[in-house]
Each structure stands twice: as C-alpha cells, then as structure tokens.
Amino acid sequence: MLRQGRWHNDGTVTTCEGQTVKPELESWATEHIQRRQRHSSVEVSVAWLEAPEGSQLLLVANEDFCTWQPTEKSF
C-alpha cells in the first residue's frame, strides 16, 4: 500500500488521511529523512510502500504530497 504524509521530528508521520503513524523503515531510510529535515524550514513529506514483507521509502521532498494525492472522488 502506498502511504504518504508529513514527517515529524519524533519519527511519526501525519498521513494525508489525518492518521499519525510511525513507519517501520530501515535505519538508512530514517537517517536520510532526518538529514533532509535538518536542511528544510518546513516538515518534509515522505512517501513509502507498506507490504507484509516490509516497508520501503520511495521519496522525501519539501513539497506537500497531500495536495496531489488522489481522493476517492477524483480517482
């Protein structure tokens, strides 16, 4: 499943649906997000995949991914 939202300094993410979750990402992925966050004046957006086999980071950016996430109405 594709998940995306805003990263917080405590390692949680507020998803585009408004839920607060803590993604189970590998340490290198979490470190990459933290590095990007340190150099940003706003909370970075993250996108990742979740599957029974684990989670994988896809993208980290300053842009708010939630503004272009499709909704049930627009899909």
How far is it, in rounded angstroms, from Cα 58 to Cα 61?
A: 10
- pLDDT tens, position by position, 3-62: 999 999 999 999 999 999 999 999 999 999 999 999 999 999 999 999 999 999 999 999
Q: What is the CATH number of the domain that holds 22?
A: 2.40.50
Report if residue 56 sits inside a domain: yes
49 touches 2 (CB < 8 A): yes
Report if residue 30 sits inside a domain: yes
pTM: 0.87
Instruction: Locate all alpha helices (DSSP H) within 1-75, ordered by sequence.
Output: 27-38
Report if residue 75 sits inside a domain: no
What does DSSP say about strands 2-7 and 20-21: parallel, antiparallel, or unpaired? unpaired
Q: In the chain, how many domains are there?
A: 1
What is the domain extent for residue 37?
2-67
How far is it, in rounded angstroms, from Cα 32 to Cα 57?
A: 10
